[in-house]
Amino acid sequence: MPTDTFQTRGQYEAHHATLQQRYERVLAAARWDAVAVWSGAPRYRFRDDQAYAHRSGPFYQQWVPASDHASSLVLVRPGARPMLALNLPRDYWHSVPQAPAGEWTESFDIAVSSDLAGVRAQLPDDLSRVAVIGDVHGEPEGWGFGAANPAGIITPLEFARLYKTPYEVACIAAANLRGARGHRAAREAFEQGASELRIHLAYLAATGHAEADLPYDNIIALNEHAATLHYGRFDLEPPEVRRSFLIDAGAMAGGYASDITRTYPGERDSGFAELIAALDEAQQALLALIKPGRSYVDLHEEAQRAIATILRDVGIVDMEPEDMVREGVSNVFLPHGLGHHLGLQVHDSGGKLAGPEGDPIPQPEAWPFLRNLRPIEAGNVFTIEPGLYFIDSLLAELESSPHGRRVNWDAVASLRPCGGVRIEDNVWVGPDGVRNLTREAFARL
C-alpha cells in the first residue's frame, strides 16, 4: 500500500497494550489460564483440491496486521508478552507469507515454524486450561484445548470492539482513503461509458486490491440494477442509456475495512440528479445529529422522516412525513437500516449487545433489519447510509394498499429505471467530536 495512505507509526504499541489489558480482564473473569487466537486455515471446496481464498480471522488480525497468515496463532497469557507462533511452510506449490517485519513485531515473542507440528510445539503440553478462539477446524481440534470459542471469552471481546483504539481509527481512515481512490476511478469509468465489469476492474486497479482482498463483494449497479440492495453481478456490456450509477465498495488497511457508497446520475440536469442532491443534503443533516448518548435507533427514525420529507417535497407521495413513517410508506423506499458498526469486519460486532455479558437488545418490531441498536458512544465507528429506492416488489404492495392513491405513479415510473440512491459515509465518534472519515478521504484526493 502507498505509505501516504497508512500512517500508524507509533500507534500500534498502545493498541497492543490495550488488547493485552482487555484479554487479561476477560481471562480472569472467565477463569482461563490463556487463550490461543487462531488465524484460521484454508477451506477446500467439496470434493475438490481448490481452496477458497483465505483471510486471517478478525480476532487474529486485531493483533497481527496480516491477512494471509494461515494455521498460525497468538498465545495470550496474563503478565507475559504474547507469543506469535507463525507457520511459514516450505512450499514451492503455493505462495508463502512474508516473514514478519515492522513496528508491530516488537511487541511479540515470535516463533517461526515450517508446519503445524512446529506450531503445536510452541504451546504448553497441557492445553486443558487454554481456550482457542477463531475458525478452528482440522488438526488444532485434536490438540487438547479446553474449549473452542467459549462465550465467556468471545462475547466480551466482541463487545469491546465497539470502542476503537487510535491505531484502529487510523487503519479505518487509511481504508477510506484507499476506497475513495477506487471510487474516483469508478466514477471516471462510468462517465466514459464503461460496463459494470469495466468499472469494477477500474476500482480494483485504483485500490491495488485483488477481488479476494476486498472487505465485501463490490456492488457496481447501473440503471435499474441499483434497486437491488446487494446487487452482485457485473454486466459485460454497458447499457444503451446511462441513467444512473450506484457503487457500494470498500477497501482494507491493516485488517480494517471501509464501506463507502455513492450514486451518480447519467444526466446532470434530471429528476434523478435532484433526488441524489436531496439525499446527500439529508445524509449530511443526519451526520450533524450524531452525539454520544443518542440512540442509533432514534437516528434511524430520523432517517425515515428525512426520506419521507424528500418524497413529499419532490412530489412522489402526497402525505405528511410523520404520517408516511407511521404508516410504513417511507419504509417502502428505505427498507434497510441506517447503518452498522465498522472495523475488523464490515458489519462489526457488538451492535446488538446490551453489554459484555452478551444480553441481546430486543429488535424493534418496526425496524427488523437495523444492525445497530445501541446508544452512540465515544470510540464508535459506524456507517450512515440512507437510501431511496424504487423496488418493484415493494412498490407493487404499496400500489395495492390504501396509501397507493397518495403516490404519484407517473413520477415513480420516470425514476424507476434509475433504480435508487444510496450515500454512505464512515464516521468516528472521537473525544473531540465526530469525524467523517469518508468525506476527509475524498477531500484529500
Contact 445, 180 (CB under 8 A): yes
Per-residue pLDDT at 401 exceeds 80: yes
Q: Burial code of 148-162, b = ≥16 C-beta within 10 A, e = fewer?
A: beeebbbbbbbbbbb
Tens of pLDDT, residue by residue over 228-277, are 999 999 999 999 999 999 999 999 999 999 999 999 999 988 999 999 99
Tens of pLDDT, residue by residue over 201-221, are 999 999 999 999 999 999 999
Structure confidence at residue 6 as a pLDDT band (50, 70, 90):
low
Tens of pLDDT, residue by residue over 186-200, are 999 999 999 999 999
Mean per-residue pLDDT, 167-181: 98
- Residue of 140, 85, 135 lying closest to 108 (CA atoms): 85
Question: Cα separation of 100 and 116, whole Å?
Answer: 18
Tens of pLDDT, residue by residue over 310-335, are 999 999 999 999 999 999 999 999 99
Structure confidence at residue 7 as a pLDDT band (50, 70, 90):
low
Q: What is the pLDDT of residue 2?
A: 37
Per-residue pLDDT at 438 exceeds 90: yes
Report CA-CA distances (Å) from 172 to 246, 306, 445.
Answer: 22, 28, 17
Mean per-residue pLDDT, 410-434: 97
Contact 287, 252 (CB under 8 A): no
The three grid cell numbers given for residue 443, joined into one nine-digit string? 477531500
Cell numbers 396509501 label which residue?
403
Tens of pLDDT, residue by residue over 18-75, are 999 999 999 999 999 999 999 999 999 999 999 899 999 999 999 999 999 999 999 9
Mean per-residue pLDDT, 295-307: 98
Structure confidence at residue 421 as a pLDDT band (50, 70, 90):
very high
Domains and CATH numbers, the chain: 3-160 (3.40.350.10), 166-444 (3.90.230.10)
The three grid cell numbers given for residue 413, joined into one nine-digit string? 415510473
- The model carries a pTM of 0.96
Tens of pLDDT, residue by residue over 96-132, are 888 888 899 999 999 999 999 999 999 999 999 999 9
Mean per-residue pLDDT, 421-434: 96
Contact 392, 343 (CB under 8 A): no
Q: What is the pLDDT of residue 1?
A: 38
C-alpha 186, offset from chain centre: 20
Q: What is the mean pLDDT of the chain?
A: 96
Per-residue pLDDT at 345 exceeds 80: yes
Q: What is the pLDDT of residue 137?
A: 87
- SS3 (DSSP) at 232: coil
The DSSP string of 252-309 is EETTEE--EEEEEESSSSSHHHHHHHHHHHHHHHHHHT--TT-BHHHHHHHHHHHHHH
